[in-house]
Structures are given as structure tokens and as C-alpha cells.
């Protein structure tokens, strides 16, 4: 098992009720789990994910996570 710290940003926070702005939470995953597997476990719709940072570097959904990683998940940004 590995443990990662996850932060959900903007509209994605609604999938984790009670999560404060900028607040991280811990997830335990099987060793070798990918970003895509983490997103699926969190129940986040794929179309609502725009960018994922792992340890402050943009990573694809096939990226394998390691123990202690910090993951930030962002939705598409809108505005004008």
C-alpha cells in the first residue's frame, strides 16, 4: 500500500463534502496505482478533470503514484 495527499480544487471540492479550501486529505492506494485509478476511486467524472499535478509537476493519468506523493486535481477553468 502507498499513501498520497490529495487536494481537489475549485468545483471538484464538491465531491468531498466538508473539505476546506486548499485542504488536503489522505488516500491509501495499492502499490503501482496510477493517477487514473485515484480519480476513479474518488468518483470524479473524467470530463471534469483538466490538469493533475503530482509533486508540482503536470502528469498524465497513466502516471504511477508513489508513497508520499502530493496530488492536486484541477477542473477546466472558465471565465471571461
Domain extents for the chain?
Answer: 2-74
Q: How many whole angstroms separate alpha carbon 5 and alpha carbon 70?
A: 5
Q: Are 39 and 73 in contact (CB under 8 A)?
A: yes
Place of cell 464538491: 14
Query: What local confidence, expressed as pLDDT, does residue 30 receive?
Result: 96
Query: What local confidence, expressed as pLDDT, does residue 78 receive?
Result: 66
Q: How many C-beta atoms surround the C-beta of residue 73 within 10 A?
A: 24
Measure the CA dihedral 60/66/67/68, to 10°: -50
Task: Provide the CATH number for the domain formed by 2-74 in this structure.
Answer: 3.10.20.30
Q: How many whole angstroms separate alpha carbon 37 and alpha carbon 80?
A: 33
List phi, psi (to 5°) of 25.
Answer: -135, 160
Walk along the chain (80 residues) and give the pLDDT tens digit of each residue. 999 999 999 999 999 988 888 899 999 999 999 999 999 999 999 899 999 999 999 999 999 999 999 999 999 986 55
pTM listed for this prediction: 0.91
Amino acid at each position: 500500500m502507498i499513501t498520497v495527499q490529495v487536494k481537489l480544487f475549485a468545483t471538484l471540492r464538491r465531491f468531498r463534502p466538508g473539505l476546506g479550501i486548499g485542504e488536503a486529505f489522505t488516500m491509501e492506494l495499492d502499490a503501482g496505482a496510477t493517477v487514473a485509478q485515484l480519480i476513479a476511486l474518488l468518483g470524479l467524472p473524467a470530463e471534469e478533470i483538466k490538469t493533475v499535478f503530482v509533486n508540482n509537476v503536470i502528469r498524465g493519468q497513466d502516471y504511477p503514484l508513489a508513497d508520499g506523493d502530493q496530488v492536486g486535481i484541477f477542473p477546466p477553468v472558465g471565465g471571461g
